[in-house]
Amino acid sequence: MAFSNTYDCIIADDHEIDRLTTLAFTKKYSFLNIVGVYENAATALAEINQLKPQVLLLDIDMGDKSGLQMRKELMTVDACIFITSYPDYAADSFDVAALDFLIKPLKAERFDRAMQRLQEYLELKYKSDLFDHSLNGDTIFIKDGHDHIKIKPHDILYLEALKDYTSIVTRKKKYCVLATLGNLLKNPSFGSFVRVHRSYAVQKHFIDKITPQEVLINEVKIPVGRSYKEGLQQLL
C-alpha cells in the first residue's frame, strides 16, 4: 500500500524531557506535520480548535487536566495515541477510542509499530475508494480499488484492529476492510482464530511459538494482552 498524505499532529506532555523525547521520535515520520507542542492540556485545548489536527499524542497524567479528559473533549480528532508511565490507564484509554497506548520510556521499535498503525489507519480513513468486503461461506471477497480479491480465511495469518477497520494479513499481502475486529470474529468464517490482544487475533494453525508476552507467526511477533492469556494457554 502506497502512502502519500501528511497529517497534522499535536503533542501534549507536562514533563519536559518526555515531551522532547516524543517530539524527537515523531519528527522521524514524514507523514506527520507537528503543528503544536504543549506542556499542559489547557493551552493545547485553547489552540486545537484553530489548528484542527488529525492526530493527538497525549500524556495522561498532566496535573491541570488529564490526557483522558482532554481526549473526551476532542473526540472529533481522528486518532489519539496515549504515551504514559502508568500502564493501569490502558483500559480507560480505549474507552475514549485510543488507537494505541505506549508506555514510557519510549522504545524505538514499539513507537515505530504505533506509527505504522497510525499511518495505515489515517490513509484508510481518507482514501476516497474505501476497501469493502463480503463473506461467502469459506471465502472473503475484498474490494481493492477496481479489483475484487478472493481470500480464504484458512490462509490468513492474523488480524489487526485499526479502530473502525481491520487489517487482514496473509503471507503475500496485507488488506484492510471497513469492519471492526470484534465484528469479524463473530462470523463463523473466523472460527479458527483466537483473540490474543485487544488489537490482534491470530490463526491457530500458524502459531509457531507462544510465550507469556507474545506469539510468533511467520516471524512476526504479536503481543499478548493480560486478559487474553488464559484463553491462549488452553491451546498449549
Both 138 and 109 in a single domain?
Answer: no
In a domain, 61, yes or no: yes
Both 38 and 95 in a single domain?
Answer: yes
Question: Which of 90, 106, 126 is the endpoint of a domain?
Answer: 126
Q: What pLDDT is recorded for position 53? A: 94
Both 198 and 215 in a single domain?
Answer: yes
Number of domains in the chain: 2
Q: What pLDDT is recorded for position 137? A: 55
Residue 186 maps to which CATH number? 2.40.50.1020
Q: What pLDDT is recorded for position 129? A: 39
Residue 102 maps to which CATH number? 3.40.50.2300
Both 118 and 159 in a single domain?
Answer: no
Question: Which of 107, 126, 145 is the endpoint of a domain?
Answer: 126
Both 57 and 76 in a single domain?
Answer: yes
Which residue from 216, 223, 207 is spatially nearest to 234, judged by alpha carbons?
207
Model confidence over 112-156: pLDDT tens digits?
999 999 998 888 776 643 445 555 556 777 776 667 788 888 889
Residue ranges of the chain with pLDDT lower than 50? Answer: 1-3, 128-131
CB of 104 closer than 8 Å to CB of 18? yes
Both 103 and 188 in a single domain?
Answer: no
Look at the pTM and tell me if it is higher than 0.75: no
In a domain, 69, yes or no: yes
Cα gap 176→122, rounded to integer Å: 12
Cα gap 163→210, rounded to integer Å: 26
Domain that includes residue 82, residue range? 7-126
Both 14 and 63 in a single domain?
Answer: yes
Strands (E), the chain: 7-12, 32-38, 55-58, 79-84, 100-103, 132-136, 139-144, 147-151, 156-162, 165-170, 174-177, 193-197, 200-203, 207-210, 214-217, 220-223
Both 12 and 104 in a single domain?
Answer: yes
Cell 491451546 -> residue:
235
In a domain, 172, yes or no: yes
In a domain, 1, yes or no: no
